[in-house]
Chain A
Amino acid sequence: MASGGPAAVRRILLPMVVLLALPVAQVFAHGIVGGDARFVTASHGVQFAPWLYLGAKHMVTGYDHLLFLAGVIFYLFRLRDVAAYVTLFAVGHSSTLLLGVLADLRVDAHFVDALIGFSVVYKAFENLGGFRRIGWRLDSRAAVLLFGLAHGFGLATKLQELRPSQDGLVANMIGFNVGVEIGQFCALSLILIAFSLWRRSPSFLRTAWAANVLVMAAGFCLVGYQLTGYVLAGGFR
């Protein structure tokens, strides 16, 4: 093994890039903000393409969704497994996204986001072998589906806060949902490429442990951040 040159660079830099790029790249862009929020509030009628774009953008820039996805596919080596889990996640979040907005179900945004943070903690703990150690036999497919439902409610609450027009809502929501799937596919492709490079490096097993501890820490950060927001908004009063 060369002690310098490209191999060493890859061994050290790659895990760092993968870990840092996910949450940091778009840390300022979560939620639907600025001009996008004005568009959602002001638009009327069917506007399929803009909503599709918004959905894709929300997914690509939603660091909580991406952290969970990264956790889910962390130890999935076969593309068939990746497809199966991601489909379950998509079915989960699509149903609550559409149901939440179309049936106007209101859930506290901080509470849902805390739950999403918890899903990240859960997945990292599972990746660390925590549940097998404790002896809990959890069906990880069911868990991904269930947490997918929570992520969909998270998307729905953010859209509802902006009070989108009832005019053309169904078509727009389907557009947004399709956009979410496209965005998820794009983000997932990048994560998969990075992971497959990372897995080839001999340091993968050592860094994998640390990476999942960091992902769990990030999940706890999300939980604490959102629960504080929940308390400040008078959630427990």
Chain B
Amino acid sequence: MSLSPQSLPGARQLVRAVVIAVTVAALLLVTVILPAEYGIDPLGTGRALGLANLGSGAGGSAVVIKSSGDTGKVDPTAVVAAGEPLPLPNPDVHQSAATAPMSRTVTVKLPPGRETEVKLVMRAQQVALYSWRTDRGAVYFDFHGHSPEWNNKEAFVRYQEVKDGLAGASGSLVAPFAGEHGWYWANITDHPVVITLSVTGYFDAVRDYGVH
């Protein structure tokens, strides 16, 4: 038997022990444990003690991109429990697809002083990875997108322009709206240039506008 060598405790002594235990536990829970573990911080003590973002990632907020097409907007999302996935405010960040991503390679031979354009026809939020390179020399380029109703000038945005030219560039694009997204190149050298563009991702078509 686990007999205590003590005499039987008085009722008041016992009640006091339990009250102290519950009070200590409640204080610790509210001021330290819940803020540190779950980010529940009713008295602001967790923030004051710097417990809000402890190790496991719980107990704070994570910044989640609100819209994949508008990188300017971010949205803090409360992290509720350690090891639990966050509810995603923007489901477009992940898009499942029925098919594997497409890969296309386009080669354009551009004489000096001439220009060309290659566009991806993409739906809003579709994703593409690209890489292009010239065989020699830097070409002017303007990476941009516009809505399909180009004549109405509904949307026309520029992603990147390098006036002095580059010999190649790589990156990714999440289409901010449905339309044509791609590259205008101008050969600013004094010799012919072969541009090779590789794209992988989700898009409906590649449009080659030819040399002008």
State in angstroms the CA–CA spacing of A189 and B103 once bound together.
Answer: 65
Quick check: B25 and A217 within 8 Å, CB to CB? yes
With most chain A CB atoms within 10 A of its CB, the pick from B2, B4, B18, B84 is B2
State in angstroms the CA–CA spacing of A92 and B20 once bound together.
Answer: 31
Q: Using a Cβ–Cβ cut-off of 8 Å, how many residues does chain B contribute to the interface with A?
A: 30
State the majority secondary structure of interface residues on A: helix
Quick check: B34 and A228 within 8 Å, CB to CB? yes
Residue ID in chain B nearest A140 by CB atoms: B2
Quick check: A129 and B24 within 8 Å, CB to CB? no
Residue ID in chain B nearest A124 by CB atoms: B21
With known contacts A28-B55, A232-B81, A126–B20 Cβ distance under 8 A: no
Residues of B with C-beta under 8 A to A229: 37-38, 81
Quick check: B9 and A217 within 8 Å, CB to CB? no
Residue ID in chain A nearest B37 by CB atoms: A225
State in angstroms the CA–CA spacing of A103 and B135 once bound together.
Answer: 64
Quick check: A224 and B25 within 8 Å, CB to CB? yes
- Nearest CB of B to A26, in Å: 14
With known contacts A213-B17, A217-B28, A221-B28, A233–B81 Cβ distance under 8 A: yes
State in angstroms the CA–CA spacing of A35 and B2 once bound together.
Answer: 40
Check if B65 is an interface residue, CB within 8 A of chain A: no
Residues of B with C-beta under 8 A to A208: 6
Quick check: A128 and B3 within 8 Å, CB to CB? no
Interface residue from A140, A216, A232 paired with B80 (Cβ < 8 Å): A232
Quick check: B26 and A133 within 8 Å, CB to CB? no
Check if B5 is an interface residue, CB within 8 A of chain A: yes
Quick check: A216 and B17 within 8 Å, CB to CB? yes
Residue ID in chain B nearest A139 by CB atoms: B1
State in angstroms the CA–CA spacing of A81 and B100 once bound together.
Answer: 67
Residues of B with C-beta under 8 A to A74: 2
Quick check: B14 and A128 within 8 Å, CB to CB? yes
- Nearest CB of B to A73, in Å: 9
Quick check: B34 and A225 within 8 Å, CB to CB? yes
- Nearest CB of A to B78, in Å: 10
Quick check: A126 and B21 within 8 Å, CB to CB? no
With known contacts A124-B21, A133-B9, A225–B33 Cβ distance under 8 A: yes
A-B pairs with beta carbons under 8 Å apart, 17 shown = A28-B55, A75-B3, A85-B2, A121-B21, A125-B18, A129-B14, A133-B14, A212-B17, A213-B21, A213-B24, A221-B29, A223-B25, A225-B29, A228-B34, A228-B40, A232-B38, A233-B84
